[in-house]
Amino acid sequence: MRAARLWFGLPPAMVCLADVVLTLSGQPSAYWGGDYGAAVDVNPLALHALAWHPAAFGVGAAAWLVTVVAVLALVPAPWARALGLVVTFFHGVGAATWLVRWGVVGWVAAVALLVLAERLLAFSWARGGTALRRRSDAP
């Protein structure tokens, strides 16, 4: 039953990964030249990790992602859906803020990312819900 809820982790995981990649790609050239104090991010935890080292940011993001997916697998389905929605939304907005810096193309990409995130949520909820029903109907 809990394994079916792993589907609820798909949207947060995918959108979080997009946010992480876009965050790293959005860092200024000084950052990549070794001046980690030049890191840019609105999230204070991410900024602190980025200012320490890009690897610290990556490890922190991986730990966050594993924690979120584990919690989604352990909590009741309604809570998993709600938490998955919130995490997906905030990482989607975070990723979109990096995209809009590219002008019109970035705005189109940001809207596409948010639509894709919504579609991933609908898909994962259907898969997670279907899998839950099948398991509960089994003798």
Q: What is the pLDDT along the chain (139 residues), one digit of tens a residue?
A: 466 778 899 999 999 999 999 999 999 999 999 999 999 999 999 999 999 999 999 999 999 999 999 999 888 888 999 999 999 999 999 999 999 999 999 999 999 999 999 999 999 988 887 444 444 444 4
Domain assignment of residue 72, yes or no:
yes
Instruction: Give residues with Cβ within 8 angstroms of 31, minimum separation 6.
Output: 38, 39, 40, 50
Domain assignment of residue 137, yes or no:
no
Domain assignment of residue 89, yes or no:
yes
Domain assignment of residue 24, yes or no:
yes
8 Å CB contact between 88 and 117 = yes
What pTM, to 2 d.p., does this model score? 0.86
Which ranges constitute the DSSP H helices of the chain? Answer: 10-25, 29-32, 44-52, 54-74, 77-99, 104-137
Taking only Cα atoms into account, the Rg of the chain, rounded to an integer number of angstroms, comes to: 17
Domain tally for the chain? Answer: 1
Domain assignment of residue 136, yes or no:
no
What range defines the domain where residue 28 resides? Answer: 3-131
Domain assignment of residue 50, yes or no:
yes
Domain assignment of residue 17, yes or no:
yes
Domain assignment of residue 138, yes or no:
no
